[in-house]
Amino acid sequence: MSREIVNLVESYETKYNPSGTEVGNRVAHRELGTKVRELVESKKINPERVNFKGLYVKLVEEKQLEENVVASAFPVIAGEIISSVIIQAYQAFPKIGDRLVRTVPSRLEESKIPGWTPIGRIRKLKERENYSQAEPPEEKIFRIRNHKHGGLMDLTKESVFFDQTGQLLDRARGLGEEGARTREELILSTVVDVNGDALNYGALYDVGNKNLLTTNPLGVAGWENVHTNLLATKDEQNKPIWVMGDRPIMLVAPNLWTKAEKLVRNEKVAGDNGEYGNDENLARNMFDVLVNPYLDFGTTDWFYGAFNRQFRWEEVWPLETFTRVGQDTEEGFNRDVIQQFKVSFYGGCGAVDTRYVYKNTVA
């Protein structure tokens, strides 16, 4: 695979830089980077089969560019291959957070979202009577603070010299997975209000917000209670909200997973003795079960509703990868870093309503 990549480099340098100029070299490598990205995405280049040491020898050492690595094609190729591994690992990481939020683009450090704005009433009109404005009677603002998250990974001279390609790609995958895991934790912690700041930097689940059901343990009776409460939800004009327009989600801690799955799968209702009688289980197939690993194991709290109607992920920018040649950095001089890779995403999660999800507690 490395031989084929070296041949590709030579063909692009011949095509785009026949005079051997510095400007032509940059053009050739820019076009080469686009081609390498295309080959990786189409799986015609397998990162596992790329020999970074062989590439470094051919593109840097044999061309006597060790003091000017940036002039070689090596950082372009390494950047495209390693960045693709990071992104693929990020995308492959198992995620449930996207089912619980609505992702909305943002350009602000603090997003301010209009909320609780029911449309004015549409009324019956007589012939020739003028239409009236059906505008929201009031507007309340919900704030979500967005933050930048990121990390670095180094490609060192030792990792190339000792041909640690497998370890390098494993670190790249780990960086991508950690980016996905961090975003998941932000979302999954917010929707259960772990820090008590999900609603305008304050507590979300509260008796005053009418979304906290106490003494409502997970079970048939508990589900019937919360499901009925959702069906009876009203807006500020005391009009029903069709909160069940989406399939409800039950979000539980790992220790409640089996109980939740039995509730949604069993055809009959189990009695106090654990035996199933003749009563039909109305909860069967009525909702989806998701497990939130960031809820304390052993908790009896559970959550139910239409999450993505209540929570937003404000996305300033999604996960991106950046690279720079180590010689341009202090790390390059002090620690023999050939190239650095950075991942970054910027966003925040918060609630923009209180009526679509209930927290249920035993006590």
Strand order in the sheet with 357-360: 212-213, 357-360, 302-305, 249-252, 288-291
Any domain includes 35: no
Domain count, the chain: 1
Helix axes 22-41, 2-16, angle to 10 degrees: 140
Burial environment of residue 282 by CB neighbours within 10 A (0 to 12, 13 to 18, 19 or more): exposed
Is residue 219 within 8 A of residue 256, CB to CB? The reply is no
13: which 2 tokens?
């340098």
Question: 303: which residues sit within 8 A by CB, 6+ positions away?
Answer: 191, 192, 250, 251, 252, 292, 357, 358, 359, 360
Domain contains 11: no
Dist. CA 274–CA 297, nearest whole Å: 24
**Which tokens is 343 given?**
């991942």
**Three-state SS annotation for the chain:** CHHHHHHHHHHHHHHHCCCCCHHHHHHHHHHHHHHHHHHHHCCCCCHHHCCHHHHHHHHHHCCCCCCCHHHCCHHHHHHHHHHHHHHHHHHHCCCCHHHCCEEEECCCCEEEEEECCCCCCCCCCCCCCCCCCCCCCCCEEEEEECEEEEEEEEEEHHHHHCCCHHHHHHHHHHHHHHHHHHHHHHHHHHHCCCCCCCECCECCCCHHHCCEECCCCCCHHHHHHHHHHHHCCECCCCCECCHHHCCCEEEECHHHHHHHHHHHHCCEEECCCCCEEEEECCCCCCCEEEECCCCCCCCCCEEEECHHHCEEEEEEEEEEEEEEEHHHCHHHHHHCEEEEEEEEEEEEEEECCCCCEEEECCC
User: By C-alpha distance, which of 145, 167, 132, 122 is closest to 316?
Assistant: 145
What whole-number distance in Å separates Cα of residue 87 and Cα of residue 82?
9
- Residue 234 has a pLDDT of 84
Asked if the structure places residue 94 within a domain, the reply is yes
- The verdict on residue 4 lying in a domain is no
Q: Is the residue at 29 inside a domain? A: no
Give the span between the Cα atoms of 327 and 342, in whole angstroms: 16
Neighbours of 113 (CB within 10 A): 17
What tokens does 211 get? 């979304």
Report how far residue 306's alpha carbon sits from residue 250's, in angstroms, rounded to the nearest whole number: 9
* Distance of alpha carbon 49 from alpha carbon 58, whole angstroms: 16
CB atoms within 10 A of CB 360: 25
Per residue of the chain (363 residues), what is the pLDDT tens digit?
A: 678 999 999 999 999 989 889 899 999 999 999 999 999 999 999 999 999 999 999 999 999 998 889 899 999 999 999 999 999 999 999 999 999 999 999 988 888 877 655 555 666 777 777 776 665 555 678 899 999 999 999 998 888 888 778 888 999 999 999 999 999 999 999 999 999 999 999 999 999 999 999 999 999 999 999 999 999 988 777 778 776 778 999 999 999 999 999 999 998 887 554 556 678 899 999 999 999 999 998 899 999 999 999 999 999 999 999 998 876 666 655 568 889 999 999 999 999 999 999 999 998
Per the CB < 8 A criterion, the answer to whether 97 and 179 are in contact is no
Is residue 23 assigned to a domain?
Answer: no
Cβ atoms of residues 67 and 14 within 8 Å: no
Question: Residues, the chain, total?
Answer: 363
| Domain assignment of residue 62, given as a range | 46-363
| 156 phi, psi to nearest 5 deg | -95, 165
Rg of the chain, C-alpha, whole Å: 28
Provide the CATH number for the domain around residue 200.
Answer: 3.90.1690
- Residue 20 maps to a domain: no
156, 157, 159, 165 alpha-carbon torsion, rounded to 10°: 100
In a domain, 128, yes or no: yes
